[in-house]
A and B are shown apart, each in its own frame.
Chain A
């Protein structure tokens, strides 16, 4: 365990479904991130939250909706996804200040859209 917990580990959903991914950390970190990793592609940064405030949205389609109720929890709400959204979704956290030990990643949620 890395200290960043993602649930569920695997998710299969239809294109008309609504689902949510959850990320939780109790490392005392203030910054949290969502990344997407499609097959054989580099990790793509989706959203950045710092002290619960969204500071970055990298042109992500509105069918992905993040929520950060506090510094320990991060959600990614999904609705009307497309098959090309199938990927590994990774959550990470960091201290948000200075250069300690970089990011801590969760194990990811493997999403399949059918």
Chain B
């Protein structure tokens, strides 16, 4: 699976949009981009995933560049409960069990 690069930490003011970048310049055509987050001492939580089109759900939006070499996770109105470590992961799609390899992620701190 392709390697990803994320900034180690970011701050965001409460109520503002949080934009978390991820570089995945070696991504292959059949690899999806997944985002998870981990609130302190809990298990990671799935947020969103996409292949090449932008995606939106009730939690966030995922913007993938046209060349697919980078993406941005957008939390439109960050709250204090969004303070967490955010992981960007790419993996191959397909049937059978699959593995997710977690990096160090971005520690997002939402500030009152």
A residues in contact (CB < 8 Å) with B? 2, 4, 30-31, 33, 35, 42-43, 45, 48-50, 55-56, 88, 90, 92, 94, 96-99, 101-108, 110
- A49's partner among B44, B94, B97 (CB-CB below 8 A) is B97
- B49's partner among A31, A88, A99, A107 (CB-CB below 8 A) is A99
* Contacts A42-B102, A102-B36 given; does A108 touch B43 at CB 8 Å: yes
Cβ contact within 8 Å between A102 and B102: no
- A106's partner among B41, B43, B94, B96 (CB-CB below 8 A) is B43
Binary A-proximity of B86-99 (CB < 8 A = 1, otherwise 0): 00000001111111
Question: Which residues of A lie under 8 Å from residue B41 when comparing CB positions?
Answer: 88, 108, 110
B residues in contact (CB < 8 Å) with A? 32, 34, 36, 41-46, 49, 93-105
Question: Which residues of A lie under 8 Å from residue B102 when comparing CB positions?
Answer: 35, 42-43
| Nearest CB in chain B to that of A41: its residue | B104
| Nearest CB in chain B to that of A45: its residue | B99
Secondary structure of the A side of the interface? strand
The 8 closest A-B pairs by CB, nearest first: A105-B43, A50-B97, A31-B97, A43-B102, A102-B46, A97-B95, A99-B93, A96-B97
Cβ contact within 8 Å between A42 and B103: yes
Cβ contact within 8 Å between B104 and A90: no
* Contacts A2-B43, A43-B44, A107-B43 given; does A50 touch B93 at CB 8 Å: no
Cβ contact within 8 Å between B46 and A98: no
Cβ contact within 8 Å between A108 and B42: yes
The listed residue with most B CB atoms (<10 A of its CB), out of A35, A42, A96, is: A42
The listed residue with most A CB atoms (<10 A of its CB), out of B34, B46, B49, B103, is: B46
The listed residue with most A CB atoms (<10 A of its CB), out of B42, B43, B49, is: B43
14 CB-based A-B contacts, threshold 8 Å: A42-B102, A42-B104, A43-B44, A49-B97, A50-B96, A92-B44, A97-B96, A98-B93, A99-B32, A101-B49, A103-B44, A104-B46, A105-B43, A105-B44
